[in-house]
């Protein structure tokens, strides 16, 4: 399947500053009236941002965040000619991020009754519905370790509910922040969820407490930090993601979970003048985090798209009217999933086979993990919510905590992140590269299904809507090195 499609699955900030960020003073008088627009301004690789900042001021821009570690400025300006006027010595590239916010693939949350979550105080009452945990041999792993509290996982997402009974003790509040707008705000309200429970669900899969309430996380002994990169409209802008990667790197995190993509076009093309500065900025941020020992784990996406054979994209951008882009090449990447050094995770359902929606690709997918498949039982005709992933939730309407099902590679990613956190707890001292390799070596190889694979021929979108073909041997396009295994990772 060569066409990239978007599918909805059933299943500015305050100025508290982190390391490496600084605010400028009063903006210069506007040269021309225009919309207040955000920009990424990049200094040449390895150079300071001083000359770039001077050019920003001269072009009637205001630096709102200064990332000297990677030579990137986040700028706002009402000057319609800012892009042209800021160009020159000291500036390698510049791009407006207006219109580059990508909608979070939220997915539907199917809540479970609160009474079911607290019925038995002697154990985790909802563990029996967490089919995903037995699949990755979590009980056996927990007999060895549940994780170490000095291992902190950054959840770059929509925030984490700090009042959730399964998460309240699990959050490293001193390392949590909002990065919305590209600047940090460490107040607790800023990094809590507002319009999305996606980050709360992800955090529960990684580290929900073993406390006789609700569910268990894969690594309940570790800590999670909320790094909020999703704004109240449900969008992730590149400057927020850059901020998130650097915040995690400079605050001692060893892992980040990234269940999103950067850019409303799922494929960010380095040969596209508008997208290239975004690619450069994100690459610099990820490289910097890797230099600080951070391993980033990212979801492959929910488009059933072969990331190894990019030809056309007919479903992007997801923040407006889709446009068709043809003759794409591997210069176009799904970010952050395809950035070098990032662990890319596909999804399987309860049968252990590729989830119908999961993107794939030989040489792109590193590992797979449970993400849910709510349609395989009916061949796509109807959804069965309990075949999704059960985790912690936050109802943004009633402002109440709970538990519920979601599905997607957004859910498989945190399974791999949780297993990596257990591995690092059991085998401390591994570098990011060593941990990535170890996660693959301890995964259980899964074979390619024969022929054209499509578990949902009765889905309303059509009998061939989710056709996919797997290639490769023990390491292949559907499953990478295989299904992550928590017990293998700790013994």
* Known catalytic residue at 157: yes
Residues 369 and 287 in one domain: yes
* 272 pLDDT more than 90: no
pTM: 0.90
* Known catalytic residue at 196: no
Looking at the domain assignment, is residue 25 inside a domain? Answer: no
Cβ atoms of 64 and 75 within 8 Å: the answer is: yes
The predicted model gives 387-403 an average pLDDT of 97
Residues 249 and 122 in one domain: yes
Q: Which of 77, 100, 123 is the last residue of a domain?
A: 100
Looking at the domain assignment, is residue 32 inside a domain? Answer: no
Residues 471 and 416 in one domain: yes
Task: Decide: helix, strand or coil at residue 63.
Answer: strand
Burial call 98-130: b when 16+ CB within 10 Å, e when fewer: eebbbbbbbbbbbebeeeebeeeeeebbbbebb
Residues 70 and 206 in one domain: no
* 19 pLDDT more than 80: no
Q: What is the pLDDT of residues 58-88, one digit of tens each?
A: 999 999 999 999 999 999 999 999 999 999 9
Among candidate residues 60, 157, 166, 185, the one labeled active-site is 157
Q: What is the pLDDT of residue 25?
A: 42
Range of the domain at 52: 37-100
Q: Which of 80, 100, 120 is the last residue of a domain?
A: 100
User: Which of 143-152, 176-185, 230-239, 445-454 bottoms out in mean pLDDT, i.e. has the lowest?
Assistant: 230-239
Q: What is the pLDDT of residues 420-436, one digit of tens each?
A: 999 999 999 999 999 99
- The count of structural domains within the chain is 2
Q: 318: cis peptide before it, omega within 30°?
A: no
Residues 65 and 108 in one domain: no
Residue 263 to residue 268: CA distance in whole angstroms: 7
* 471 pLDDT more than 80: yes
Residues 91 and 200 in one domain: no
Q: Is residue 113 very low, low, confident or very high in pLDDT (cuts 50, 70, 90)?
A: confident
Residues 48 and 107 in one domain: no
* Known catalytic residue at 50: no
Q: Is residue 262 very low, low, confident or very high in pLDDT (cuts 50, 70, 90)?
A: confident
Q: What is the pLDDT of residues 55-65, one digit of tens each?
A: 999 999 999 99
Most confident option among 31-35, 276-280, 338-342: 338-342
Q: What is the pLDDT of residue 8?
A: 35
Q: Supply the CATH number for residue 82's domain.
A: 3.30.70
Among candidate residues 410, 412, 425, 436, the one labeled active-site is 410
Q: What is the pLDDT of residues 351-376, one digit of tens each?
A: 999 999 999 999 999 999 999 999 99
Q: Supply the CATH number for residue 115's domain.
A: 3.40.50.200
Q: What is the pLDDT of residue 264?
A: 60
401 burial level (CB within 10 Å; 0-12, 13-18, 19+)? buried
Among candidate residues 164, 198, 201, 251, the one labeled active-site is 198
* 28 pLDDT more than 80: no
Residues 451 and 465 in one domain: yes
Torsion, CA 309, CA 315, CA 317, CA 319, rounded to 10? -140
Q: Is residue 319 very low, low, confident or very high in pLDDT (cuts 50, 70, 90)?
A: low
């Amino acid at each position: 399947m060569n066409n990239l499609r978007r599918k909805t699955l059933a299943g500015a900030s305050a100025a508290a500053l982190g390391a490496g960020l600084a605010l400028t003073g009063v903006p210069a008088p506007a040269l021309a009236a225009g919309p207040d627009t955000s920009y990424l301004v990049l200094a040449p690789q390895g150079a300071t941002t001083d000359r770039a900042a001077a050019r920003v001021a001269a072009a009637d821009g205001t630096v709102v965040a200064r990332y000297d570690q990677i030579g990137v400025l986040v700028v706002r300006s009402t000057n319609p000619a800012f892009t042209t006027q800021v160009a020159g010595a000291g500036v390698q590239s510049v791009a407006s991020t207006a219109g580059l916010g990508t909608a979070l693939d939220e997915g539907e949350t199917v809540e479970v009754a609160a009474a079911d979550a607290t019925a038995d105080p002697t154990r985790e009452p909802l563990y029996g519905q967490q089919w995903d945990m037995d699949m990755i041999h979590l009980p056996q792993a927990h007999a060895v370790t549940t994780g170490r509290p000095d291992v902190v996982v950054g959840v770059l997402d929509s925030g984490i509910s700090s009042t959730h009974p399964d998460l309240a003790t699990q959050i490293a509040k001193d390392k949590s922040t909002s990065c919305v707008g590209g600047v940090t705000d460490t107040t607790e309200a800023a990094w809590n969820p507002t319009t999305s429970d996606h980050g709360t669900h992800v955090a529960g899969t990684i580290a929900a407490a073993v406390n006789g309430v609700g569910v268990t996380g894969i690594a309940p002994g570790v800590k999670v930090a909320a790094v909020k990169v999703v704004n109240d409209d449900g969008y992730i802008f590149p400057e927020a993601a850059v901020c998130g990667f650097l915040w995690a790197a400079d605050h001692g995190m060893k892992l980040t979970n990234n269940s999103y993509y950067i850019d409303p076009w799922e494929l960010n093309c380095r040969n596209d003048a508008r997208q290239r500065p975004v690619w450069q900025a994100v690459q610099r941020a990820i490289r910097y985090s890797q230099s600080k020992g951070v391993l980033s784990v990212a979801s492959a996406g929910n488009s059933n798209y072969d990331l190894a054979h990019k030809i056309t994209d007919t479903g992007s951008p997801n923040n407006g009217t889709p446009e068709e882009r043809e003759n794409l090449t591997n210069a176009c990447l799904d970010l952050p999933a395809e950035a070098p050094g990032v662990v890319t995770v596909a999804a399987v359902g309860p049968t252990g086979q590729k989830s119908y929606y999961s993107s794939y690709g030989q040489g792109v997918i590193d590992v797979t993990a449970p993400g849910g498949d709510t349609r395989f039982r009916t061949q796509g005709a109807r959804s069965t919510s309990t075949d999704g992933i059960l985790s912690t939730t936050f109802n943004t309407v009633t402002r109440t905590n709970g538990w519920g099902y979601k599905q997607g590679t957004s859910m498989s990613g945190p399974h791999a992140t949780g297993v990596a956190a257990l591995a690092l707890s059991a085998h401390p001292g591994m570098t990011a590269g060593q941990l990535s390799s170890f996660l693959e070596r301890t995964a259980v190889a899964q074979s390619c299904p024969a022929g054209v694979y499509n578990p949902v021929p009765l889905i309303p979108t059509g009998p061939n809507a989710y056709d996919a073909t797997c290639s490769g041997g023990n390491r292949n396009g559907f499953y990478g090195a295989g299904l992550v295994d928590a017990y293998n990772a700790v013994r």
